[in-house]
Every structure is written in C-alpha cells, then in structure tokens.
Chain A
Amino acid sequence: MKTPTGMTLRERVYLPEIFKGMLVTNYHFLRNLTLHFAHLVGLAKERSAAATVQYPDQRKTYSENFRGSHRLTLRPNGDVRCTACFMCATACPAQCIYIEAGEHPDPQVEKYPLRYEIDTLRCIYCGLCVEACPCDAIRMDTHVHPRIWGFDRKDFIETKEVLTHRSVVLEEQGRDGNMNEMLAWYKEQERRPYDRLRPELKTYTERERRRQELEQADHAERTAADMLVNARPSDG
C-alpha cells in the first residue's frame, strides 16, 4: 500500500491521533454527563447538555422575520383594518383568499369584510397578499407555523375571527402566544373522540353515510351563499 503523502510521522503512527480523538469524545461525554447531573439537582439550567431540541417538550422560537400564519391587523378601536378592497385576493397566486364585502356603519369607512377566509390547504405562504395590501391590514408576523393536521378540510379554513384573534393574542401575549395557542389546540384535538361528527355512529358505513350527508349539506349551503354574493372566484 502506498503511504499517503503529507502526513507527519506522528500522524502515521496513528496512536497519538487516536488518543487525541478519544480526548475529544471523552470531553463531550464527561461534559454532558456532568451537565445532566447538574440539571437533575437544579444547577446550570442555562447550559444545555445536548445540541438537540426535545420537540415538542421544548421548541425553538422562530426568527424575527419568520413568515408564518396570517393575521388581520386591527385599528386602535379594535375594528378590523381591512377595507375589503380585494387586492390580496387578486394578488394571491393560489386563489386561497375568499372575501365577502359589506358596508361599514361608519360613513368615513367605505367597506369592511363580512367574511375573510384563507384556505390554508391552498395557501403557499408566499406573502404576496401582505405585499399587495395598501392599508397594512394583513401580516404574516405571528411567529406560528400553519396548522399541520386537522380532522377535515374545514379545520384548515381560517376565518376572519381566527385571523383577528391572532392579532389580539400577539398584542396581549407576545410572540409565543399564537404558538402556545396552537399547541393547546392540538392537545385539545387529541382528546376529542375519533369521529367528532357523530360518536354514536359505530360502523364505518354509518359514519361514511353521515359524513357524505354533512358534506352535501355544507356544499349546498356554500353554493347558495356564492350565488347570493356572486363574488367567489370560480375554482380553476
């Protein structure tokens, strides 16, 4: 075998190098062991014994400019800032924003959204709606990622109430507030019965039939609403 060039004699003898390597591993071993014991008795809590984050027990906070879930900003008096101008819905490449405009009681304000819904299953979190908004009414600075699971598609549609609530939470609880709330929602969902529609329906057929009935009713309801305002962009 050809001896690789560029190695000193010490490196070629190899044993000192192994020893150096073992010093490194041993240092990590002893440091982390000491830290774990210190944590057990409540010392040195600020120094972590592992480079890993024990999600979901611990979590890393998102960076300051993290583009997360949307929120609808509020006026000082608590009203929604949005004027239902449809700029965001127009800019949206995924066509996931559904706005239903209504006349505002205050004559100074032209319109406001009766319904403002974001279908997060379609949303690609590109931020174009935020860019398009002329009155800073929609932002994505909630420091919370989108919900990743739900029981049906409805769970992923964020209504005006949800979106404005995020602004309130952000105002009151700071940047961790929305994340805490979402994790609490997850916990709540975990405790919910498997079939929240009708837990008394035991068999698969029964459940399936009931689900279809509900879906049809829902669909009929939505179609009627669409026809009424005639504002919903048609699906592709």
Chain B
Amino acid sequence: MLTDLLIDAAKAIVAVLLVLNLATVLLWFERKGSALIQDRVGANRAAIFGIGRRLGVPNLGVTNTFVADPLKMFTKEDFVPDQADRFLHTLAPFLSLFPVLVTFAVVPFGDRLIVGSRVIDLQVCQLDVGVLYLLAVLGIGIYGAALGGWASNNRWALLGGVRASAQMISYELAMGLAIIAVVMTFGTLDLQEICRRQGGAWFGWLPKWGIIYQPLAFLLLLTAGIAESKRIPFDMPEGESELIAGYFTEYSGGKQAAFMLTDFAEVVLVSALVATFFFGGWQVPYLYPEGFRLPGIGSVLLPNLVVAVLGVLAFGLKVVFFCWLQILVRWTLPRFRYDQLMYLGWKILLPLGLINLAATAVVIVAVAS
C-alpha cells in the first residue's frame, strides 16, 4: 500500500518536473532557435565570472535563461495594481498554471514496467475517463486568463482577458471534436489504452498510428492546440502591439513567470496530446512488448526494462519534435486578425471537425457491419 503510494508520488513528481524543465528548455530554445531562424546569434553575453569563456566553451545563452532570468523573476517586486482585487489577482496565475500541469496526470509516457512481481503502468494516474478529465481540466485554464485580465483593474488587461476567453472557448470546440473522432476510432477514453491500440502494423510495415486513421483530426488538434496555448499566430490575447501584454500586463515577478510557464507548458501539453493521439504515444515502430519484429529482417528479443525505456525515450522524442514544430510555426507565421481568428475557428475548423466526425461514424458502422 505504502509502496504503491510512493510509486505514484514518484511518477507524479517526475512528470511535473519533466514538464516544467522542458518548458524552461523551450524558453531557451525559443531564444536561440529564433536567432538561428532569423540569421542572428541570440543571447550570448550573460556569464558568471566568464568561467565558460575561460574554459573555451561557447556562450549559448544558458546563463541568461536558466540563471539570470529566474533570479530576476523571483526577486522582483510582487506588484498588485491600485484597487485591483488582490485575491483574484493572486489566484489567476495559479489557476492558469495548475490545470495544465495536472493534465499530464493522464498522459501515458511509457508502457508497463515490470519490477519483480509488480507491474508499474508508466502513467501518473490511470483514469477510465482520461479524455473527459483532460477536456474538463483544460477548460479551467480559461479562468486563469479571464480572471487575470479582470482582476488587474486595467483596460488592456481586461481586453486581453476577454479575447483570451473568447478564443479559448472557440477553439476548445474544434479541439473537442478532433479528440472525439479519435475516441470513436479507438473506442476508449483511456489514454493509455489509446496508445496500446496504436501498436502493431498493417501489412507488416505500416505502424497503426492514429495519423493514418485520422489525418484531418491531427491538423484540427494541432491548430486548435496552438490556438489554445495563445501563441503566434493566435496571440491576440497578448497582442503586444495593441494590448501591451494582454491579460498579464499588470503582473510582475513570479506571477508573470507562472503565466509565461503556462504558455510553454501548454506547448508541451499540445505536443504530448498530438503524440499520444496520432503518433502512437510511447509506441516505437515494430517494437512489441517482447522485442523488435522487423518486417522482412527478423526479430530481436529484448528484456522488459529495455522495451519500457525505449518507449519513454520515443515518447520524449515525439514530444520534443512537436514542441520544435510549434516553435517553428511561431517564427514562421504573422499574427492573424481577430476576425480571421474567429472565422477560422467557427467557420472552418468547426465544420471540418463535424464532417470528420460524421465520416468517422459512417466508416466505423460500415466496417462493423
């Protein structure tokens, strides 16, 4: 009993720490990567006593993102505007960050790990209603942005908060429809089970990943996901040219860091969801619980530990790839206009999602009968 609790706690801590650290690494990558994309060099000045330079290590802006920025963030004044609602103003960043982090509870990051007689499912929390939980918890995140805007007693912040909630509600529909199509395909709401059903291969070589069943849903989920994370090209809520910083205009220090971390944690979340629903999650092509079965070459037997580790690595790789893809999108596209955003959400993504849903239903019935 106690061992079970400890294992669960360890899994939860590892998952949260991994997500938070990946989010910070993404922040660093966004700086240096964007510099590479734009033919610049990027942050390369901040250093601690020039240690790196003396050792001949190139300055990659690591000190900047991992030391200087956090130090600045957490030593800054915690500012609450005059006549703002102090309680709600403080609550908002937590309400923004918390739902994103707890969502990772149902995201499986690996297959079973067998230690002695104990079978450890590499998922923080095995829920039969995983997908519903996911959508429900993500919905709470809207309150963070909306409250942050409302409680700041600032017109820009309020506008940003209103925009954020309108946008997130609009795109949640498209996101939900895309996920429902996936749920219909695999016939389960449990994310671990969805991953398991993507194992195996057609004709012996084509992995049975969700993208093969649901290519349209993949595009819908990725688009809606980027819109949910409020990043360029969907960053109207922040809209720094007209709203300064949108709903977190009046935030400073640690609270602002929480909002920023939310953005990057959402990038990780969208990547994890896309990987889970459409790219087999922790599935490695041709890897089965007993080992590799390569088509036309033969099979290699592997111990369970190696298979589990390979699965976790594959999941990590897929997540990192989609994070990278989202950052690439962010540095490729300019911002949409607000009416274009609403047009895309309600008149394109929503009908496409409904058509996809109907088509999926027809195909499933046709196949079953």
Residues of chain A having any CB pair with chain B under 8 Å: 1, 15, 18, 21-22, 24-26, 28-29, 32-33, 36, 40, 49-52, 54
CB distance from B346 to the nearest CB of A (A): 11
Q: Could you tell me the distance between the alpha carbons of A28 and B332 in the complex, rounded to whole angstroms?
A: 11
Contact count band on B: 10 to 19
Which residues of chain A have C-beta atoms less than 8 A from B41's C-beta? 49-50, 52, 54
Which residues of chain B have C-beta atoms less than 8 A from A36's C-beta? 36
Given contacts A1-B339, A15-B219, A21-B332, 19 further A-B contacts (CB under 8 A): A18-B329, A18-B332, A18-B333, A22-B329, A22-B332, A25-B328, A25-B331, A25-B332, A28-B36, A28-B38, A29-B33, A29-B36, A29-B328, A33-B36, A50-B35, A50-B40, A50-B41, A52-B39, A52-B40
12 contacts between A and B (CB under 8 A): A1-B340, A18-B332, A21-B332, A28-B36, A28-B37, A28-B39, A29-B36, A29-B37, A36-B36, A40-B58, A52-B39, A52-B41
Name the interface residues of B322-344: CB closer than 8 Å to any CB of A. 328-329, 331-333, 339-340, 343
Q: Could you tell me the distance between the alpha carbons of A18 and B340 in the complex, rounded to whole angstroms?
A: 16
CB distance from B266 to the nearest CB of A (A): 20
Q: Is the CB of A26 within 8 A of B328?
A: yes
Residue among B36, B37, B58, B332 with max Cβ neighbours from chain A (10 Å)? B36
Which residues of chain B have C-beta atoms less than 8 A from A29's C-beta? 33, 36-37, 328
Identify the 5 closest CB pairs spanning chains A and B, nearest first.
A51-B39, A32-B36, A21-B332, A25-B332, A29-B37
Q: Chain B 17-58, CB within 8 Å of chain A: the 1/0 string?
A: 000000000000000010111111100000000000000001
Which residues of chain B have C-beta atoms less than 8 A from A52's C-beta? 39-41
Which residues of chain B have C-beta atoms less than 8 A from A1's C-beta? 339-340, 343
Which residues of chain A have C-beta atoms less than 8 A from B340's C-beta? 1
Q: Could you tell me the distance between the alpha carbons of A1 and B344 in the complex, rounded to whole angstroms?
A: 11
Cβ-closest chain B residue relative to A54 = B41
Q: Could you tell me the distance between the alpha carbons of A117 and B317 in the complex, rounded to whole angstroms?
A: 68
Which residues of chain B have C-beta atoms less than 8 A from A18's C-beta? 329, 332-333
Q: Could you tell me the distance between the alpha carbons of A69 and B339 in the complex, rounded to whole angstroms?
A: 56
Name the interface residues of B187-234: CB closer than 8 Å to any CB of A. 219
Q: Could you tell me the distance between the alpha carbons of A54 and B40 in the complex, rounded to whole angstroms?
A: 10
Residue among B331, B332, B339 with max Cβ neighbours from chain A (10 Å)? B332
Which residues of chain B have C-beta atoms less than 8 A from A32's C-beta? 36-37, 39
Which residues of chain B have C-beta atoms less than 8 A from A25's C-beta? 37, 328, 331-332
Q: Could you tell me the distance between the alpha carbons of A36 and B331 in the complex, rounded to whole angstroms?
A: 20
Which residues of chain A have C-beta atoms less than 8 A from B332's C-beta? 18, 21-22, 24-25
Q: Could you tell me the distance between the alpha carbons of A33 and B58 in the complex, rounded to whole angstroms?
A: 14
Which residues of chain B have C-beta atoms less than 8 A from A33's C-beta? 36
Q: Could you tell me the distance between the alpha carbons of A15 and B36 in the complex, rounded to whole angstroms?
A: 24
Cβ-closest chain B residue relative to A30 = B36
Q: Could you tell me the distance between the alpha carbons of A49 and B58 in the complex, rounded to whole angstroms?
A: 14
CB distance from B274 to the nearest CB of A (A): 16
Which residues of chain B have C-beta atoms less than 8 A from A28's C-beta? 36-39
Which residues of chain B have C-beta atoms less than 8 A from A50's C-beta? 35, 39-41
Which residues of chain A have C-beta atoms less than 8 A from B328's C-beta? 22, 25-26, 29
